[in-house]
Amino acid sequence: MKYVTEYRDAGLAKTVAGAIVREADAGRQYHFMEFCGGHTHAIFRYGVQDLMPKNVHFVHGPGCPVCVLPVNRIDDAVELAERHGVILCSYGDMMRVPGTKQRSLIRAKADGADIRLVYSTLDALKIARENPDRQVVFFAIGFETTTPPSAVALKMAKAEGLANFTLFCNHVLTPPAIGHILESPEVRELGVVKIDGFLGPSHVSSVIGSDPYAWFAEEFRKPVVIAGFEPLDVMQSTLMLIRQVNEGRHEVENEYTRVVTRQGNLKAQTLVAEVFELRQSFEWRGLGTVPYSALRIREAFAEFDAEKRFALTPKQAREVKSCECPSILRGVKKPTDCKLFGTTCTPENPIGSCMVSSEGACAAYWTYGRFRDGQPRVAEAAE
């Protein structure tokens, strides 16, 4: 796989690891937040932590759209499928996320709701064309990466006059979430969460570019390095962050230059701006209400807005009280700090959202890294 395999090379990994060991100051601790679930996944799946010195720590951020979607929006989706009789199209990731009383899309499907797993918004449009007598709703989730494909779908639906298609918009924005974390009292005053720098989003940045992060670097005096999702990208970016910290710099640097430019994808940005506008506020699981952190469908496309077409009942979502997902999403706690982790909450029976998505911190810890806590043991294979 060109442009993939090279960035998983064990030899080069040793080279970069050697540089990190030499350049990291043994007398200090480095805490870097990887905002994206994609980075969390890469760190655990490839065992990147094993190649890092003990004083370099990764703090897992909230960049997993499945994890941050509030329970009441999941309940809304379940309601659309169950009570409004629509064909609900969803990305696979959302299927097992528990809503109120642990009710998920997959359970609603088992009970007879018409829920279809799709890989692309194009598949949802196709289903709408093939079922002209049914209402077809696309359950849109995701950050700036996944938003442009939703914008394309809405434009196509409008151009075709696909009257039975609507989109349930839950698209959220990355920069306001990073800002929210940096402004939170735990980071600013209490010092509960130590963050010396950020591994910046990969594919989000391919769309929005590297410029939007300049403000954080400036305002919060924290270095940001935009990092690809392959394990070598994570390591090289960590090295770049260590260098910035050592030199007292706080700049936006870009390691993922093969797809990220300063301006990003202007065509995609224009499309998104044409179809979507900012919501004044949106609730994030874990972060609470974050101003101007999400998108809604513009008036010009109102006829394709599921929230306008269907009268959704207001929800009083109930989170499981002992679930620590909110603190984990802010980097305040680690999965192993949660009483439910690995006991009542496992990937087979997820209680909180961080255990559902394989990019959630809890699922990554459990699925790939649970030998790390307790007695550390490394897989000494027959070498």
Partner 1 sequence: MCLALPARVVELHDDAMATVSLEGVRKRISLALVDDIVIGDFVLIHVGYALHKVSPDEAERTLAMMAEAGVLAGEIEEMAS
Partner 2 sequence: MNEPGHPRAPGRAIDMTHGAGGKAGEQLIGSIFRKHFSNPFLDQGDDGAALGEVAGRLVMTTDGHVVAPLFFPGGDIGRLAVAGTVNDLAVMGAVPRFLTASFILEEGFPIDDLERIVISMAATAREAGAQIVAGDTKVVERGKADGVFIALTGLGVAPDAVAPSGSKARPGDAILVSGTMGDHGVAILSKRENLDFETEIVSDCQPLADLAQAMFAVVPGIRVMRDPTRGGLAATLNEIAHQSGVGMALIEAEIPIDPGVAAACELLGLDPLNIANEGKLLAICSAEDAERLLDAMRRHPRGRRAAIIGRVVEDRALLVTMRTAFGGSRVVDWIAGEQLPRIC
Q: Which stretch binds partner 1 (CB under 8 A): 31-39, 130-138, 191-199, 316-324?
A: 31-39
Q: Which stretch binds partner 1 (CB under 8 A): 190-198, 218-226, 253-261, 273-281?
A: 253-261
The position carrying tokens 């709703």 is 137
How far is it, in rounded angstroms, from Cα 353 to Cα 108?
17
Segment 136 to 155, residues that bind partner 2, using CB under 8 A: 141-142, 145-146
Interaction between residue 284 and partner 2 (CB under 8 A): no
Work out which of 25, 50, 218, 277 binds partner 2, going by CB under 8 A. Answer: 50
Distance of closest approach, residue 210 Cβ to partner 2, in angstroms: 21
Interaction between residue 353 and partner 1 (CB under 8 A): no
How far is it, in rounded angstroms, from Cα 379 to Cα 142?
35
| Residue 110 three-state SS | helix
CB atoms within 10 A of CB 271: 19
Helices 361-369, 37-45: axis angle to 10 degrees equals 10
Interaction between residue 72 and partner 1 (CB under 8 A): no
Closer residue to partner 1 in complex, CB, 134/155: 155
Interaction between residue 10 and partner 2 (CB under 8 A): yes
**Can you spell out the DSSP letters for 261-319?**
-SS--HHHHHHHHHHEEE-SEEEETTTEEEET-BEEE-GGGGGGBHHHHS-PPP-----
SS (H, E, C) 236-269: HHHHHHHHHHHCCCCCEEECCCCCCCCCCCHHHH
Closer residue to partner 1 in complex, CB, 123/307: 123
Interaction between residue 370 and partner 2 (CB under 8 A): yes
Name the residue among 103, 173, 166 with its Cα closest to residue 145.
173
**Residue 64 contacts residue 40 (beta carbons within 8 Å):** yes
**Residue 260 contacts residue 202 (beta carbons within 8 Å):** yes
Interaction between residue 373 and partner 2 (CB under 8 A): no
How many amino acids of this chain bind partner 2 (CB under 8 A)? 56
- The structure tokens listed for 368 are 């790939």
* DSSP assigned state of 382: -
Interaction between residue 236 and partner 1 (CB under 8 A): yes
Distance of closest approach, residue 366 Cβ to partner 2, in angstroms: 7
Closer residue to partner 2 in complex, CB, 92/191: 92
Q: Which stretch binds partner 2 (CB under 8 A): 2-10, 189-197, 263-271, 334-342?
A: 2-10
Segment 256 to 315, residues that bind partner 1, using CB under 8 A: 256-260, 265, 267-268, 271
6 burial level (CB within 10 Å; 0-12, 13-18, 19+): exposed
What residues make contact with partner 1 under the rule CB under 8 A? 1-4, 6-7, 12, 14-16, 18-19, 22-23, 36-38, 63-66, 91, 119-123, 142-143, 145-146, 148-149, 152, 201-204, 206-207, 228-229, 232-233, 236, 239, 255-260, 265, 267-268, 271, 359
Binding site for partner 2 (CB under 8 A): 1, 4, 8-10, 13-14, 17, 37, 44-51, 64-66, 91-93, 95-96, 106, 116-119, 123, 141-142, 145-146, 231, 346-348, 350, 357-359, 366-371, 377-383
